Amino acid sequence: MQTTETAVLKKYNLIGDAIYYHHCRTEATGEEYLHPSEAHRQHEMLLLLEGEISYIIDGETYTAGPGDMIFVAPGEIHAIRIDGKKPYERLVLLFELEALQQMMRELSVSLAAFSQDAEKRPHILPRALVSEYGLDRLFFEIFSCEDADQYKRLFILSKLLCFMIQTDKLIGANQECFAAPISTDALTSAAVTYINEHIGEPIRLEKMAKDLFVSQSTLCHRFAKSMNMTTMNYILTKKMHRAAELLEKGHSAAEAASMVGYDNYTSFFYNFKRLMGKAPGAR
């Protein structure tokens, strides 16, 4: 398994990094390769233009082909496995809901699909529905806008809102149409559930393994194989994203640290800044 160079064909930042898109293409290598696991604070929407991929999201593996759209929420840890037999080309849009929330509040609009509390979130939006609801058209309009910057910003914001509305409608009306993961490692799934249920406590691998009735070495091996990330790194990443969510809701940094199981604020501060790229509470 290998990595390969990716060509960025187009990219654009709006409102700092709150809204960002890029058009990328990776040429065929003939060999399967795996992108490292990651998580971020933005919603991510990926429209696959060419290639066949497996998308691993919190221990569950999904498959996608050209025309399918992948939906990843803030804090969801994900990795991509590409078969390498064909070029891999995609449009990727990342956006922070906070950048649009004031407008949504004033209009009394709430989009359930983008809520942090959404329980049943589909991850693969099939190409037939993507086309039916015009998500691909809106994506291409966002990516192809060539207006002068003052108009481009307004155009992208308006199209992004349209895109979010249509996505919310699609998800709300088609729950029975979404693909289930093609594979789920039962132990990894149980570990993910355990971590989410104990995110507000110090989580010890030895105790987690005991509670899941396996050895610590078995737990760590199976988890790393499924997630392309060590168990401890996964726990740490989940805790920092949960802390970021709490900070966004108005909690102080000290409160957020305590609420994700830290009694040592210095350790929390160091880990948050290292993983999130800024100090807790920084704008």
Domain count, the chain: 2
pLDDT tens digits for range 24-53: 998 888 888 888 899 988 899 999 999 989
Residue 55 has pLDDT above 50, yes or no: yes
Query: Which residue, among 61, 8, 55, has the nearest Cα to 35 in the 3D structure?
Result: 55
Q: What is the pTM of this model?
A: 0.81
Of 125 and 175, the one with more pLDDT: 125
Residue 1 has pLDDT above 50, yes or no: no
Write the CA distances from 235 to 3, 58, 194, 227, 265, integer angstroms. Answer: 25, 11, 10, 12, 17
- Say if residue 228 is in the same domain as residue 160: no
Q: Residue 283's pLDDT is what?
A: 62
- Say if residue 192 is in the same domain as residue 173: no
- Say if residue 251 is in the same domain as residue 233: yes
CA distance 265 to 253: 9
- Say if residue 11 is in the same domain as residue 145: yes
Instruction: Calculate mean pLDDT across residues 232-261.
Output: 93
Residue 237 has pLDDT above 70, yes or no: yes
Q: Residue 18's pLDDT is what?
A: 79
> By residue range, what is the domain housing residue 87?
7-177
163 three-class SS: helix
- Say if residue 195 is in the same domain as residue 69: no
Instruction: Calculate mean pLDDT across residues 206-216.
Output: 95
CATH number at 255 reads 1.10.10.60
Q: Where is the domain boundary, 152, 177, 202?
A: 177
